[in-house]
Copies of this chain bind each other. A is one copy, B any other.
Amino acid sequence: MNGYLGKILRIDLTNQKIKEEKINPKDAEMFMGGQGLASKILYDELPADVKGLDPENKLVFMTGPLTGIVSSKFEAVTKSPLSKFLGDANSGGFWGPELRFAGYDGLILEGAVPEPKKKNSVYITIFDNDVEIRNAKQAKIWGKSIEKTVTQIKKIHNDPKIKIAAIGPAGENLVRYANIMTDYRALGRCGMGAVMGSKGVKAIAIRGINKNAIPVADPDKVINIITTLNENVMADVSTMGFSMAGTPVNVIVSHSMGDLPVKYWRKGVFNIKKIDGQAILDINIKAPTCYACPIHCHRYIKLDSMNYVGKGPEYETIGAFGSLLMIDELEPIVEANKLCNDLGMDTISCGSSIGFAMEAFERGIITEEEIGMDLTWGNAESMIKLVNMIAKRDGFGDVLAEGVMRAGEKIGKGAADFAQHVKGMETPMHDPRALQGLGLHYATEPSGARHSNAHNLITYELPNIASPQLGIKKIIKRDVAEGKAEIVKKVQDYSVVVASYVVCGFASVGKSIITHLDAYNAIVGKEYTIDDILTIGERISNIRRALNIKLGATASDDTLPKRLTAEPVDEGGSKGIVSKLDVMLPKYYEIRDWDPESGKPSKAKLESLGLKKIAKDLWG
């Protein structure tokens, strides 16, 4: 019995129909699972003109062959309501494994409940193979915070072990960067929560008790690989840091390299003393794990000054609500983080939208009279107020709930010119002026400015670490553009493999790259080499690109905000440097064999990757 993905659920909200489907074995082999397989399904099924919040949009949750065995991770892919094209997010925790234990490798949501949503909204229960669509109003969860929703569902079904993916008020209100919360983790970016909200689905609750439901080809081999995996995962300096102090350990490293954005990408140095990894470590009380993971990168904190015990902010959140807004105290960051987790919003896009508004305020484009508050840099009180207003789409919050691309257009007066995003996706908290390769990735990644589809790239660029495992043998300086195109292509191709296995980027570094491959081979019963795997990755990169092309993307969408290519900061680790995207991009197209005008993968490239139908779709 091989361990390829086999069975998915398709739930049609319009007609309240539940269907079990077999995954095409050829697709499972060609696209692995997770991001690869979900992208293939969406390429086949999405209309070219679909909008993110249309009932015709589909939201695909997909695990991978490694999920529930050596990994906690799963993926969600959709037409993003925030970025212009495809959107994806991944989450750890326990929901993905639980879906597999219930007997399903994936789940497609399509259609939408009829209006009014408040009355007709639903939640889905998957208790092993007993799948039901239930009324969310009767369950008294529509309108509720994530925490209340989760508590209520566990109470109704009298089982504290149910794993729940849920949206909060932000998702119900179609905030374009609403997220889906899963345990203490999240499907964070690209507005997954808004898509789920647009379909009228408040939550998906799973209980699967059959751990033996997951097939593997060679169980003995898998055992031996698992036991070595921990060792290899923990041997890397980056995982060690995350394990000891969580992602906030990055604050001091990134800041020293000029990688931590300050004052909405205009400054290079900030007072990080009260918001860095040590500050979090000092108040750390618990470090919970995701399923099967030795790293335990997440942090619970006890902050006496706020009388707060709960989730601590991640690195990205500290950037987005801290340095980006010139806020150097921990309390408001923790408060904003708590609100976002409970209201169901991506902290990166939320903080970025507020940063964008602060710059507009400084420039006088928006005024205190218009928006009802002072938005001077560092005004933490207004920041907290705005987080609440965005989730409820109250007043000026309604504008910022659209994300910076659309907010810039709505505000006018040149505001769009300094909105920091790629393809509509707010730039995460790593600066492409400090990390040249990352800039090329931001520009070319189908879902826009993302750090999760290029984790290894950040790792390799920050300390100039090569990756012998991936055949990246030369150490490349982070601020050098030359030679980066080759590396970015390779790292992207491996990153989509990570997102299709599906495993965690944090765990897929150094030696564990080989161990993950060993695990994949033992699970599916093959003997792939790293080169084979990178070819599968290239195939996945190309189908994601093809899906974007289908949705209207061209090479002109592969850009960076002007600030990053033309406006250097005047101090810190990336002082005086801008992204040399113009140097890297032509080389990148050449290596990718993508057409530099239409942006389309060449016919030959697509055919060589076994994507003949797509070659025909794109080129006739």
Report B-chain residues with C-beta under 8 Å of the C-beta of A211: 224, 228
Q: A212-B221, A237-B286 are in contact. Are A230 and B230 (CB under 8 A)?
A: yes
CA distance A601 to B613 in the complex (A): 79
Bound CA span A333–B291, Å: 38
Choose from B220, B240, B244 the contact partner of A216 (Cβ within 8 Å). B220
Q: Which residues of B contact A245 (CB under 8 A)?
A: 244
Residue-wise interface mask of A (282-312) relative to B, using a CB-CB cutoff of 8 A (1 in contact, 0 not): 0010111111111110000000000000000
Which of chain A's residues 513-547 have a Cβ closer than 8 Å to chain B? none
Query: Please, which residues of chain B bring their CB within 8 A of the CB of A212?
Result: 220-221, 224
Tally of chain A residues near chain B (CB < 8 A)? 39
Is A68 on the interface with B (CB-CB < 8 A)?
yes
Interface: A374 (CB within 8 A): no
Whole-angstrom distance between the Cβ of A506 and the nearest chain B Cβ: 13
Asked if A69 is at the interface (CB within 8 A of a chain B CB), the reply is: yes
Q: Is B288 touching A230 in the complex (CB atoms < 8 A)?
A: no
A235 at the interface (CB under 8 A from B): yes
Instruction: Please name all residues of chain B whose beta carbon is closer than 8 Å to the beta carbon of A243 when the two chains form the complex.
Output: 243-244, 287, 296
Residues of B within 8 Å of A381, CB to CB, are none
Which A residues between 66 and 89 are near B, CB-CB below 8 angstroms?
A: 68-70
Contact A227 B296 (CB under 8 A): no
A227→B292 contact, CB < 8 A:
yes
**CB-nearest residue of chain B to A219:** B219
Partner of A230, one of B244, B281, B294: B294
A216 to B226, Cβ gap below 8 A? no
Tell me which residues across on chain B come within 8 A of A181, comparing CB atoms.
none
- Assuming the contacts A212-B221, A216-B220, A288-B235, asked whether A68 and B240 have C-beta atoms less than 8 A apart, the reply is no
- CB contacts (< 8 Å) of A228 on chain B: these are 211, 291-292
Q: How far is the CA of A69 from the CA of B223 in the complex (A)?
A: 7
Complex-state Cα separation, A237 to B228, whole angstroms: 25
**Candidates B69, B219, B234; contact of A294 at CB < 8 Å:** B234
A290 to B294, CA, bound (A): 12
Chain B residue with Cβ nearest A97: B227
Q: A220 and B219: CB pair below 8 A?
A: yes
* Assembly CA distance A97 to B211 (angstroms): 27
Q: State whether the Cβ of A405 lies closer than 8 Å to any Cβ in chain B.
A: no
Contact between chains at B287 and A244 (CB < 8 Å): yes
Q: A219-B220, A240-B296 are in contact. Are A289 and B231 (CB under 8 A)?
A: yes
Cβ-closest chain B residue relative to A213: B224
Residues in B neighbouring A244, C-beta threshold 8 A: 243-245, 281, 284, 287
Most buried by B among A97, A281, A287, A294: A294
Supplied contacts A211-B224, A227-B291, A231-B291, 15 more A-B pairs, CB within 8 Å: A68-B227, A69-B223, A69-B227, A211-B228, A212-B220, A212-B224, A226-B227, A228-B291, A231-B293, A234-B287, A234-B288, A234-B296, A243-B243, A244-B281, A281-B281
- Going nearest first, the 9 A-B pairs with the smallest beta carbon separation are A294-B294, A219-B219, A227-B292, A211-B224, A234-B289, A226-B226, A219-B220, A234-B296, A222-B223
